[in-house]
Amino acid sequence: MEVFHGSPLKAPAVEIVDLSSDHGVDDEERDVEREDASSPETDNGEDDDHLSLYEDMLDSMPEHAEWEDAPVDVCTVEESFSFRKRLRLVGEDQFITETIEIGAITAKKLCTAFGIRPPPFLEGQPDFKYFPLLGLGITRELSKRVKLPQYNTIDDAVHLLKKSKNIIVLTGAGISTSLGIPDFRSKETGLYSQLEHLGLSDPQEVFDITIFREDPSIFYSVAKDILPSTQKFSPTHAFIKLLQDKEKLLTNFTQNIDNLESYAGILPEKLIQCHGSFATATCVECGYRVKCEEIYKDLKAGRVARCDRCIRNMRLKPFGIKRKRSTNGLSTSKKKRQSYEDSTDDEDYDIAVAGVMKPDITFFGEDLPATFHDRLTKHDKDLVDLVIVIGTSLKVAPVSEVSGFLPPETPQIYISREPCQHVDFDIDMLGECDTIVTELCRRAGWDLKHEMIKEDDVDVQLHEGYESRYSFRITSA
């Protein structure tokens, strides 16, 4: 969940767009602004902080279609598509000349063409104040993958499935929702919406490693809601297993932590659990690892699980254990201490406390497993011939960057309930994942077997108004 540092997946360096239109700003003021914006450093690193603020804000922006109370002066979807297409056609310099420099559009409004909502703190500022933000938007747009024009229809998708031999399947929570396991970001039904009652500034803090170390009870209070209660798997899991049986599956990268891929029979050598799973748990103090079944009672009861090995060691030691103060592990404010007046150095005697067991899921603030990076860069990149993204909105880096990292000539298919507007897939199929993969298998002549599959007719409709991309809405009739 933490962006790789030094990884090939890292976004390209950001450049501030150098613009030269007046727009009511005198030359002296603009020169000062440019000098500040382009200076490599200041005494206090303020420019770096300012740029970092823009980057953080850009990452947290909702997509254009998700703006519920959009500003009045916003590019339409059609205008946005036209601007993006023009940028790629003529390049950044000519694009800026044709738009900003001749005064055809303001930088503020042009930001919205790239999915960037003008921030409130810039309201009322001169237009050149929006240049850094626009520069980031243009850089991000130019780093995106470009749709391959030869793949457009469902029949094209079926053809790709049948001919491909090394398929990457990237999955998210949407492939498990038919089993009653909630996803994270759906309004009202998503897990984050359900966690608002905790009073956290951001529901994602439940999965923040720093907060877990300070107070693991917050995570344990909701663990039962995300703990997989079944070993059943969905038809979509069965579809991935079918690709494996047909020797077409290169790798299944999953963001899910429910471990259902393993239950479906995906081989360990074909599976990368990008965000870990509930399969095992590890003590944050001594590193002792157990199968997660051993702490299920605590997880289901909302009770913080403690390490059995730490407890056994405590029984073999005196009541007071001499050790140095440490800020690692649990916060010292959470530890129960007993001091002795005859202590002569900087150490205290602590009452022994067993370490907390942490399920081996990747929290915000933790690096993804090295297997994710190694598999993608050293193995899959040179072999992949088809990418299928299923049941994920691709909101969390670095997994969200996989699509843009892979060779641009590799076709990509997207399957989910709602469109993903920040990635240009070749074919979008919108609807329930189980319904769509079942229809793909039917058209391919493949026998996908699963008890949840219904013999319903399927209705296929072209999804209109989506940036002139071929997007299909597939539902049970």
CA 329 – CA 287 distance, rounded (Å): 11
275 is catalytic: yes
3-state secondary structure the chain: CCCCCCCCCCCCCCCCCCCCCCCCCCHHHHHHHHHHHHCCCCCCCHHHHHHHHHHHHHHHCCCHHHCCCCCCCCCCHHHHHHHHHHHHHHCHHHHHHHHHHCCCCCHHHHHHHCCCCCCHHHCCCCHHHHHHHHHHHHHHHHCCCCCCCCCCCHHHHHHHHHHCCCEEEEECHHHCHHHCCCCCCCCCCCHHHHCHHHCCCCHHHHHEHHHHHHCCHHHHHHHHHHCCCCCCCCHHHHHHHHHHHCCCEEEEEECCCCCHHHHHCCCHHHEEECCEEEEEEEECCCCCEEEHHHHHHHHHHCCCCECHHHHHHHHCCCCEEEECCCCCCCCHHHCCECCCCCCCCCCEEEECCCCEEEEEECCECCCCCHHHHHHHHHHHCCCCCEEEEECCCCCCCCHHHHHHHCCCCCCEEEEECCCCCCCCCCEEEECCHHHHHHHHHHHHCCCCCCCCCCCCCEEEEECCCCCCCCEEEEEEC
- Residue 227: how many other CB atoms lie within 10 Å: 16
- Residue 413: how many other CB atoms lie within 10 Å: 24
Overall size of the chain counted in residues: 477
Taking only Cα atoms into account, the Rg of the chain, rounded to an integer number of angstroms, comes to 26
Task: Provide the residue type at 223 as one letter.
Answer: A
CA 423 – CA 146 distance, rounded (Å): 8
Q: Among residues 275, 373, 422, 450, which one is catalytic?
A: 275
**Among candidates 271, 186, 188, 190, which has minimal Cα distance to 225?**
190
**Residues taking part in catalysis:** 275
